[in-house]
Chain A
């Protein structure tokens, strides 16, 4: 009854929500978490399709994505801390040195 389509639709919803969050929010941490949300939705897609085709490769891939995501979390937080220390604010608009 629950087809793979349900999983995929759910994943796409989550992805889009995460996208909106990444492009719209001002706080660095929230943006970071929205990106994590996007990664999660992708994980969901991988697992769903892996289950659909009966292959474990999808799951292994998700495993690695999680590993990368964890590493990225560590680094990202470290960067955010440095960023906040420098700019005294969490607003990512402070990172605008590439402005014309």
Chain B
């Protein structure tokens, strides 16, 4: 029972945060909305029996990504100026998105899904996680680290001013 209540609260929060991100004019508030959404989603991860990832979510998203975004907005003048997005684009986007949503719902209805089955405590534990990472997913793990390295180098290169 509590689970459901918590779920709906968190879900609601996430949804509100998303809406804020998308519809609020002021960019800082939009970013904060996103942060809230991210945190909520992290809570949802915990509720799904993977607390490790929930933690990860908080650190990476709510912590790093949002802070970076905020930093960019505040440092580099975020004001939206210029012509608004064309009406055709917006109308079509809303229509298509609505249709998309309906489609997804239709697919969902057609498939047979039921309540969450029970899992044991070890599911989603760090041991299980780490074990999987170094055994079965060792190669992607290494590749991910390479990717991060590349991203770091790339970020440095891209934000360099042109040396004369």
Contacts and interface: CB of A to CB of B under 8 A. Distances in A.
Complex contact flag A–B (Cβ < 8 Å) = yes
Contacts of B53: 47, 59, 62-63, 66
Identify whether the interface residues of A are mostly helix, strand, loop, or mixed.
helix
Nearest to B52: A59
Contact of A56 (B115, B132, B150): B132
B9 interface: no
A77 B68 contact: yes
B93 A24 contact: yes
A89 B81 contact: yes
B82 A89 contact: yes
Interface residues of A, number: 69
Contact of A47 (B18, B50, B152): B50
Nearest to A88: B77
B81 A4 contact: no
Contacts of B89: 23-24
Contact of B90 (A7, A24, A60): A24
Given A9-B105, A66-B57, A70-B148, A51 B65 contact: no
A43 B44 CA distance: 11
B76 to A, nearest CB: 5
A8 B106 CA distance: 12
B84 A21 contact: no
Interface of A: 1-10, 12-21, 23-27, 29-30, 32-34, 36-37, 40, 43-44, 47-48, 50-52, 54, 56-57, 59-60, 62-64, 66-75, 77-82, 84, 89-91, 93
16 contacts: A12-B105, A14-B14, A14-B15, A23-B93, A30-B30, A33-B69, A37-B21, A43-B57, A51-B116, A51-B123, A54-B117, A64-B137, A70-B65, A74-B151, A74-B155, A81-B76
